[in-house]
Structure 1
Amino acid sequence: MVAKGSLPWIGGALLFTAVMAYISTLSGGLVSYFFLFLFIIGAVLTLFFFVFFRDPERKPPGDEDDAVSPADGRVISIKNGTISIFMNIHNVHVNRAPLAGTITHIDYKPGGYIPAFNKDSQVNERNHVVINTEHGILELTQIAGILTRRIVSYISEGSYVKRGERIGMIRFGSRADVIIPQGYEFTAKPGDKVKAGETIIAMRKEKIRA
């Protein structure tokens, strides 16, 4: 399965590859080698887009009140009630809701494209999503990275999302920050590798200490 909105990218790469292959068969000499080279580039791009835009099915583990990761990647920091997850180019870039709830606020802001792991990435393009869950307010911020040129949202204000449901994606390298509701405690640690919708990153405090 591929991510929503990815077909123009994949289709364009496939079309380019097919056209270059056809032209190379009609040409001769150095011209033929030139179009063969373009065909190889097109084939590599097509494979890259298929891998990058992959969107595997995920089934959230644990109980409904266990918060799951919104993104594939690595935990780069946990401080002040916020966990930051860095998505590398090879990760799945479809983001998911950590907890079920109603989307009460979406605030998209355009910006720059500083590497997402850099502290100066606060000026980057971002999409701030507020989810009113059964256990309190959860905030998720999608932050664009150096290669990213668009944050794609699948949700709207007032809509209800299930835990682990797809809420959008960030193209070509990025970061996701989550502020958990009061009464929750992080179970993930800096350096952990996590998967969107599959890795539990936080649980209710009384559950952890039971």
Structure 2
Amino acid sequence: MSLADTISKTFVPIHREGYPFIAIAAISTIILGWFFAPLFWIGLILTVWVCYFFRDPPRVTPVRDGLIVSPADGTVCLMGPAVPPKELDMGEEPMMRVCIFMNVFNCHVNRAPMQGRIKRVAYKAGKFLNAELDKASEHNERNGIVIENDDTRIGVVQIAGLVARRIVCFVKEDETISAGERFGLIRFGSRLDVYMPLGTKPSVSLGQTMVSGESILADLKATNQSDAISRVS
């Protein structure tokens, strides 16, 4: 194994959004350590944690028509029919919703669940309730995007949590995006909701650990096939 391979496997890339926070933590550590040595070690630990929080590891996304992959690292905290936020303009009928909660130790870079065109980007200010609560979908600060392709349309909502105070979205309306491509980031603990067509059968269960851009939330093609068989029978 070459030195470059060793370095790439040892040091995970850091997202550029984290650079200012890392710089602030590092400078604060040096200043505090100058006045009181024990504070240097405390600051150093916090600086390392900030680097860890903003890590942006490469992911290998499965590419097959109909697959919906997880947009976030974390655990599935809620699942079932729910009406999408009004600002997404996806109608008032329930859709299948899967919610993924990210704690402060999860990677917070968000990735697109499927390929398609960004039809809508909508931000809404709000509160900062515990992101694990169901009412966080309605009351918390959030940013939603709608992705559409020839086969389907889904909604993805970034929801700020109890600690999070900043939602970052990298995409704009009418842009095209690939499955697993980075589209946003949330600081520092939050949730992602994915809205899929009603009738979709999720491939996950409550409490299951998700890997952004890799874990499969649902296979829409398999769902359609099973529905077709059900109708025939």
Is TM more than 0.5 here?
A: yes
Residue 117, structure 1, aligned to residue 132, structure 2: yes
Partners of 2:184 and 2:54 lie apart in 1 by: 12
- Which aligned segments of 4 or more residues in structure 1 are displaced greater than 6 angstroms? none
Cα offsets for 1:11-31 (capped at 9, x unmatched): 11112223334x24xxxxxxx
* RMSD, aligned CA: 1.8
Cα offsets for 1:178-204 (capped at 9, x unmatched): 011467431111121111101011002
Equivalent in the alignment of 2:186: 170
Q: CA 1:72–1:207 in 2, change beyond 3 Å: closer, same or farther? A: farther
Partners of 1:95 and 1:110 lie apart in 2 by: 19
Equivalent in the alignment of 1:12: 24
Equivalent in the alignment of 1:28: none
Equivalent residue in structure 2 for 1:105, among 114, 120, 126: 120
Partners of 1:111 and 1:182 lie apart in 2 by: 27
Partners of 2:47 and 2:147 lie apart in 1 by: 36
Partners of 1:40 and 1:143 lie apart in 2 by: 33
1:207 deviates by 5.5
Residue 153, structure 1, aligned to residue 185, structure 2: no
1:62 deviates by 5.0
State the TM-score, normalizing by the size of structure 1: 0.88
Equivalent in the alignment of 2:61: 60
Equivalent in the alignment of 2:72: 71
User: Counterparts in 2 of 1:136-147, with a 5 A limit?
Assistant: 136-147=152-163
Q: Contact conserved, 1:136 with 1:182, CA < 8 A, in 2?
A: no
Unaligned runs of 5+ in 2: 1-12, 82-95
State the TM-score, normalizing by the size of structure 2: 0.80
Partners of 2:60 and 2:140 lie apart in 1 by: 31
1:39 deviates by 1.3
1:36 deviates by 1.3
Cα offsets for 1:66-115 (capped at 9, x unmatched): 11000111111211111011111111111110000111111101111110
Q: Contact conserved, 2:117 with 2:174, CA < 8 A, in 1?
A: yes
Q: Contact conserved, 1:103 with 1:130, CA < 8 A, in 2?
A: yes
Partners of 2:177 and 2:125 lie apart in 1 by: 25
Equivalent residue in structure 2 for 1:188, among 182, 196, 204: 204
User: Counterparts in 2 of 1:19-98, with a 5 A limit?
Assistant: 19-21=31-33, 23-24=34-35, 35-80=36-81, 81-98=96-113
Partners of 1:107 and 1:141 lie apart in 2 by: 9
Secondary structure of the corresponding residue to residue 147 of structure 1: coil
Equivalent residue in structure 1 for 2:217, among 186, 201, 205: 201
Unaligned runs of 5+ in 1: 25-34
Q: Contact conserved, 1:75 with 1:193, CA < 8 A, in 2?
A: yes
Which stretch shifts more, 160-169 or 127-136?
Answer: 127-136
1:61 deviates by 2.1
